[in-house]
Chains A and B, each alone.
Chain A
């Protein structure tokens, strides 16, 4: 049972970046824009958040306060960075995949450049301890307390809150209805007076916000609040895309997909702690490859009945019918 608690406690902080970034991807694709640049967006958020934490870490703010403020900084940075995509994809009608690729290449270079020039290292190292050993009151609930409120981070609770909000926004509001219409049939949306370009800008911006937060939460939950330009976010931006596809562009399914991928990764890094797997003596590198191999397999399995937003990736052209 302890191993189980351990796995869940470790899995949740890993799943949150995937969940948030995949939700971000969902919002852009539902509006009709493909965001391959989520990896770069995550890095932007992680870097901005870490930079902020680095600046305020001696000021006496509590770690969770830093986390909340850092989250806002990361969200703003991500949103600004995402405008690179919305401008190119919506206004200039450029190839969205190429733009996303450029965004992914831009950030590691920028981080390395800034870090090397000003910090004399490959990234930012902070010493804020975000880790929560036990949440008061909630942590005392049997089983549930052990699973969700011990040895955890504030990110987990915020992540699930954002999931709930996202679900409501997408399905229960005017905005959600219009956003989905733009991704499915932009001409229909246009003909009833919805500003497709504006909706797509908003969709991309949301992915920037969630991607930025997701990136910061990656550094909080996975790399102890640090970030560097070489390892970046280890392909989490791309994995999040796979999570989104696996989750069929629906929030709740995306959550399960994120948990699944997070579980695989946690397993890979916990091999020595699980006697059964440790005894197999398989090099840990194999386990490290697992999430990526799983992505290919999952995509192959879901490709047949995958239901992507119909107009995704196609620039909206009023004149075309």
Chain B
């Protein structure tokens, strides 16, 4: 091992945060010209490790070597000087800047003290042709597709002549077809001599593209394996620490009468001039889980906001259990029977500085059970909170009076689920309910969704994860550019077919079905 040609070595890295060890004695060695995968669950410490390599964090222990020599990386500038570049999971692009401005930011060429955009443009055009990364240098970031934004991020690294390229969960925002394209680009880059660190929790992609793989679990290093000598099952076991079945255990669904009926819904966009949701119609029945699938930003968020009343519709109608709620307020819709597990649990779902018990009555504090003439009945709130905490097994430092901010992501989500499932409801709207959670929490949430369905509720699930879409739902609606372009049966469809619909390559006329009926 000693004699091998390692371009980067991270040796015995330990990084602590208050109350937690994010990286515990981790060693990772990257060979020149290889694609090295870094595998782990959400929260396993992958991002922290890469932030250490990129100079965003300083480790408490351990050292980093480049070509065998110890280096100190204090900030992204140092990383850049060593030839290390990174495509962040959430793109670091200034939305109101052009592609060109974003690429040169930080390494701007100048002439007589002024920006030299011509020289920059020449180099960018040259690079984009050489690596087949198609971009329009003068387009403004907020106007271009996510795929192109990612190419901009890659060009940023190439423009800086980086040798070591870090890709942090790069496929999360792409369609299956775009993913294939990206994986090919990565292979090409490796063939050109670039060394690539590929962070992912998706086994298929790692098996397809990587040479070696280092696995992290709960901040600890589980070892490094050669991809050609391993299997998906083995990697999965290393990542989670036990056998996992991603299959959700559920019975055949027994759809009852229609609970939610949306007709011709159109919702304006806040970001661009076009409508975010365009003439969408569908039904959700009692006892079924309907999943809205699609790539992020195709109108799912706006659809849910219009459904729950957070956003106004331009046209269309919403019918819940035979009652027209198109113009109802958020509170009225909630009373009418909509429970909502929001997309962003910290922004919408919780008042982080309130206690757990105060959050558990967030939808109900005004009901006679909890208030009398405007005065809150704190005893009742406490009793109710204790019941939910026990029933849903919400873990926290100090029970009902824990400040929610101090709780773990999984338990915060459990608190929301407890609140929304315990409230009287006919329809449960769950938007990306498992985002950022570990396998245990994901399994739990899927179980709860299925339980809700079996208790005769209608469930509308919005998800970006293909596995979740295929495993949990009873019926799939695919959204593309604000429209529903396909209705699929999860038992009959495949990843590939779903991908074609999600990328707009294939579409059925779903509208007809509902508008006729």
Contacts and interface: CB of A to CB of B under 8 A. Distances in A.
A174 B108 contact: yes
Contact of A184 (B56, B76, B80, B94): B94
Contacts of B76: 190-193
Given A193-B75, A193-B77, A181 B114 contact: no
Contacts of A173: 110, 113-115
Size class of the contact patch on chain A: 20 to 34
B285 interface: no
A177 B108 contact: yes
Contacts of B86: 191
A192 B90 contact: no
A200 interface: no
Nearest to A183: B94
Interface string B75-98: 111001000001010101111110
B113 A184 contact: no
Contacts of B77: 193
A185 interface: yes
Contacts, number: 67
Contact of A192 (B105, B110, B114): B105
B169 interface: no
A181 B115 contact: no
Given A174-B110, A187-B92, A194 B97 contact: no
Interface residues of B, number: 27
B115 A172 contact: yes
Given A191-B76, A193-B106, A318 B56 contact: yes
A307 B95 CA distance: 12
A56 interface: no
A190 B96 CA distance: 17
B112 to A, nearest CB: 10
Nearest to B109: A174
Contacts of A178: 105-106, 108
Interface in A152-207: 168, 172-174, 177-178, 180-181, 184-185, 187-194
Contact of A185 (B54, B80, B93): B93
Contacts of B94: 180-181, 184-185, 188-189
B156 A184 contact: no
A193 B77 CA distance: 5
A188 B77 CA distance: 13
6 contacts: A178-B106, A184-B94, A188-B102, A191-B56, A191-B76, A318-B56
Given A191-B92, A307-B96, 19 more contacts: A172-B115, A173-B115, A174-B115, A177-B101, A184-B95, A184-B96, A185-B92, A188-B93, A188-B94, A188-B102, A189-B106, A190-B56, A191-B54, A191-B76, A192-B80, A192-B92, A192-B107, A193-B77, A193-B80
Interface of A: 168, 172-174, 177-178, 180-181, 184-185, 187-194, 307, 310, 318, 321
